[in-house]
Amino acid sequence: MNKKTPPVVRKVWKKKIIADFVERKSDGVTCFETTFKTQDKPSPWILDSGCSSHMTGDKKMFQQLQQYEGGTVKFENNEGAKVTGKGSISINNGKVKLHDVFYVSGLKHNVLSISQICDRGHEVIFNKQGCEIKRVDSDKIVASGQRTSRNLYTLIESVEDSCMTMLTKQ
């Protein structure tokens, strides 16, 4: 008897690209313009009131990262991983800079610590639709979040536009 091996199914993240296209003609010159909206982050930032520090498992996000022995983080399945780095990350197209972010190899989610946000001069206001992060001294909103169907609050990151233009003479 020949037994068939069942197929392996995996979730694969693929960069999402949304394009707008415009064509203009005038005086024998054709201009093509397109705008691409790209989302580079495969995993959103989850706001967590029970987490003592910001952390991520994505080493590529760090602008600056140094080795750091910071103990162990326990996952929901009771397995753990060591904190091996600490550094800075910019989010929201560089509008928000996070300091003292832990690098935890194997962590599948990006986590924002509510207490760390508040300790740095901000307040986080929650309602049933989402949340806002404000500077205490100026009342300026620096970031906002949305409530997901799984009752998690995730940061809404702005999407960067890239523009490409091509001119041709006829």
Class of domain 45-155: mainly beta
Output phi, psi for 115, to 5 deg.
-65, -35
144, 132 contact by CB (below 8 A): yes
CA distance 155 to 132: 9
Q: Which amino acid is at 12?
A: V
Give pTM, 2 decimals. Answer: 0.68
For the chain, how big is the Rg over CA atoms in Å?
21
Task: Give CA–CA dist 23/15, Å, rounded.
Answer: 25
Provide the residue-wise pLDDT of the chain in tens; the chain has 170 residues. 455 656 555 555 555 544 444 444 545 554 444 444 445 545 899 999 999 999 999 999 999 999 999 889 887 788 889 999 999 999 888 888 999 999 999 898 999 999 999 999 999 999 999 999 999 999 999 999 999 999 999 999 865 544 555 555 55
- Distances, alpha carbon 153 to alpha carbons 15, 20, 62, 92, in Å: 23, 30, 22, 16
